[in-house]
Structure 1
Amino acid sequence: MKDLVGKVAFVTGAASGIGLGIATALAQAGVKVMLCDIEKDALDTAVAGLKRTNADVEGVVADVSLKEALQTGADATMARFGRVDILVNNAGVGGGGNYGTWSDGGWNWVIGVNLLSVVWGFEIFGPLIERQGPGGHIVSTASIAGLVAATNPAYDATKYAVVALSEGLRITLAERGIGVSVLCPGLIRTNIMNSTRNIPSRFDVKVVAPPTEGPIADFIKAFSSALEAGIDPLYVGELVREGIENDWPYIFTDTQFEPAVEARFANIKAGFDRIRDRVPRH
C-alpha cells in the first residue's frame, strides 16, 4: 500500500499510547481513521485533538473483548466512511497475575482483549477489506514478549498467539491481496501498567493493590521507570505506517531485546542439534 491517501483505517485501543500514535501517524499520511477504545473520555479527547489538525477522524466506544461490540465498531466505520482498507488490532492489556495467583476471570479478561479481539478483528474486518480489492493491510500488536517470554504468563501466552496468528494468516491473506504485519514493540511510553482501570465488571476480577515493598514492588518500580523513559508512541506509529506501505511481516521498535531473541532461537536450534544424528525408531 504505497499510497495511503484517502484510505480508511480502524484502530483499536486508539485513545492513548501506541494506538493513538498509530492513528496519528496514519492521519498525518492522509488516512481517514476510526479510533476505537473502551475509555470514552480519553477517546473524545484524542479525536478532538486530531480533528484540530484537520484530520478526517471519528471515534467509536467499544469493549473489544465482546465480539458484538467490535461488530458495532465495524458498522460505524462503514456508515461513516463507506469502506475499510486498514485494520490495526492494537488494543491490549497487561494482567492475569503470576503462577499461584491466577483466576478464571483474569485469564478470560486478558485472553478476550489480547487475543480474541484480534481473531474477531480478522473475522469481521477481513471481508470488508477484501471488498475494496487488492491492497488492504492488517496490523496486530503483539509484543517483544510474543517472541521471548517475560514475567507475565497470561500476557506472554496471548502475545505469542498473536504472533502465530499473524504469521499463519499472512500466507492465507496474501492470496486475497491483504498484507499482514505483527508489531512487536519493546518499552514504549504507555499506560499498560494501569490496565486494570478498564476491567469490565463481568469478568469479576478482584483488583489487589500492588505491594509497596519486596521484589515485586522493586520490579514494578523499575519497569514503570523504564516505560516512562521508553520510546515515543508516535515514533511507533510512524514505523507502523512504513510497515504498511512496505508490507513488513514483522515491525520492531528497537534492538534492545534482539540478543534475547537470538538466545531463544539458539536454544531451539540446540534442541534440534541434540537429535540431529539419531535415527527415529518406528
Structure 2
Amino acid sequence: MKDLAGKTALITGAASGIGLGVATALAQAGVKVMLCDIEQAALDKAVEGLKRTNADVEGVTADVSLKSQLEAAAEATLSRYGQVHILHNNAGVAGGGAYGAWTDAGWNWTIGVNLMAVVWGCEIFGPLMERHGQGGHIVNTASIAGLISGSGNAYNVTKYGVVALSEGLRVELAPRGIGVSVLCPGFIRTQIVDSARNLPERFAGAVPARPAAGQQAIETWLGNVRERVAGGIDPLYVGELVREGVEGDWPYIFTDNEFEPVIAARFAGIKAGFDRIRGRAPPR
C-alpha cells in the first residue's frame, strides 16, 4: 500500500504505547484512524491529542477478548468511515505466570487478548477489505518473544501463535490483495508490565499471588523488566517502522537487532536437529 493518504485504519490497544505510536504515524501520513482500547480515559486523551494535530481520528472502546466487542468496533468504524484498509491487531497483555504458578484464568486472559483477538480481528476485518476491492494490510503485534521461547509462559505461547498465524495468512491473503506483517518488538516504552490494570472481572485470579519462597528473585526479575521497558525504544519510532512496513509490505517488522544472535542460535539448534538424522532412511 504505497499511497496511504485517505485510507482508513483500525488499531487495537491504541490508547498508549505502540498502538498510539502507530496511530500517530499513520495519521501523519493522512490515514483516517479509529483508535480502539479497553481503557476509556486513556483513549479519550489519545483521541483528543491527535485531533489537536488536525488528524481525522475517532475512538471506540472494546475488550478485544470478547469477539462481540470487536465486531461492534468494526461496525463503529464502518459507520464513521465507510471502509477499512488497514488493521493493526496490537492489544496485548503480559499475563499468566511461569510453570508452577499457572492458573486457568491466566491462560484464558492471555490467550483471549494476545491470540484470539488477533484471530477474530483477521476474521472480522479481512472480508471488509476484500469487499471494497482496493487492497488492504494487516499488521499483527507479536513480540520478539514470538521467536524466542524463553520460559514456557502464556505470553510466549500466544506470541508464537501470532507469528504462525501471520506467516500463514500472508500466503493465503496475498492473492486477495491483502498484505500481512508481523511486528516483533523488543523492549519498547509501554505499560505492558502493568497490564493487570485493565484485568476484566471474569478473569479474576489471572495474576497469581507471588509465593513467599523465591519472592525476592521474582521481585528482582520484575524490577529488571520494568527497567528495560522504561528505558526502551520510543513508541513513535515503532509507529514509523510500522507505517514503512505497511507501505513496503514487509513480512516481519523488527524494532532493533538486540535479540538477533539469540534467534540465530535458535535456528542453529533447529538445523542441528535435522543434521542428526541426515542420511538416515526412515522406514516406510
Q: What's the TM-score, normalizing by structure 1?
A: 0.97
C-alpha separation between the residues in 2 aligned to 1:44 and 1:152?
36
Q: Where does the alignment leave 5 or more consecutive residues of structure 1 unmatched?
A: none
Aligned residue among 262, 265, 269 for 1:263 = 265
Residue matched to 1:216 = 218
The aligned amino acid for 2:229 is: L
Higher deviation after alignment, 150-159 or 54-63: 150-159
Tell me: CA distance 1:207–1:156, structure 2 relative to 1, closer, same or farther (3 Å): closer
- Count how many residue pairs are aligned between Structure 1 and Structure 2: 282
Question: Which of 230, 233, 238 lines up with 1:236 in the alignment?
Answer: 238
Q: What residue identity is the alignment partner of 1:85?
A: H
**Residue 213 (structure 1) shift:** 5.5
Structure 1 residue 134, shift from structure 2 partner:
3.9
State the alpha-carbon separation in 1 of the partners of residues 153 and 263 from structure 2: 17
Cα distance, 1:78 vs structure 2: 0.2
Question: Tell me, which stretches of 5 or more residues in structure 2 are unaligned?
Answer: none
Distance 1:206 1:165 in 2: 25
Pairwise CA distance, 1:220: 0.8
Quick one: structure 1 residues 21 and 208, their matched pair in 2 at CA, closer, same or farther if it must change by over 3 Å?
Answer: same
Give, in whole Å, the separation in 2 of the partners of 1:33 and 1:278. Answer: 55
What aligned pairs does 1:55-134 form with structure 2 within 5 A after superposition? Answer: 55-134=55-134
Measure the CA separation in 2 of the matches of 1:213 and 1:278. 48
Kept in 2, the 8 Å contact 1:199–1:205? The answer is: no
Equivalent-residue separation in structure 1 for 2:52 and 2:125 (angstroms): 28
Output the CA distance in 1 between the equivalents of 2:148 and 2:179: 24
Q: Using the aligned pairs only, state the percent identity.
A: 68
Aligned to 1:30: 30
Whether the aligned pair in 2 keeps the contact of 1:13 and 1:37 (CA below 8 Å) is: yes
User: Displacement, 1:203?
Assistant: 1.7
Q: Deviations along 1:13-70, whole A, 9 cap, x unmatched?
A: 0000000001111001000000000000000000000000000000000000000000
RMSD of aligned alpha carbons = 1.3
Instruction: Give the secondary-structure state (helix, strand or coil) at the position aligned to 2:138.
Output: strand
Query: Offset at 1:156?
Result: 0.3
Deviations 1:151-194 (A, max 9, x none): 36100000000000000000010010000000000000000000
1:89-238 paired onto structure 2 within 5 Å:
89-151=89-151, 153-205=153-205, 207-208=207-208, 214-238=216-240
The answer as to whether partners of 1:93 and 1:192 remain within 8 angstroms in 2 is: yes
1:253 matched residue in structure 2:
255
Rounded to whole Å, the distance in 2 between the matches of 1:274 and 1:206 is: 41
Matching residue of 1:46: 46
SS at match of 1:102: coil
Change (3 A) 1:257 1:214: same
* Deviating 4+ runs (over 6 angstroms): none
Q: Return the alpha-carbon distance in structure 2 between the equivalents of residues 254 and 112 of structure 1.
A: 28
- Provide the C-alpha distance between the structure 2 equivalents of 1:38 and 1:155, rounded to a whole number of angstroms: 19
2-structure distance, mates of 1:61, 1:134: 27
Structure 1 SS opposite 2:9: strand
1:279 positional shift: 1.1
Contact 2:97 2:207 survives alignment (8 Å) = no
**For residue 190 of structure 1, what is the amino acid of its counterpart?**
T
- SS at 1:63 equivalent: coil
**2: CA distance, partners of 1:197 / 1:151:** 23
What letter is aligned with 1:6?
Answer: G
The CA distance in 2 between the partners of 1:111 and 1:206, in whole Å, is: 11
1:263 aligned partner, one-letter code: A
How far, CA to CA, are the matches of 1:206 and 1:117 in structure 2? Answer: 17
Amino acid paired to 1:260: V
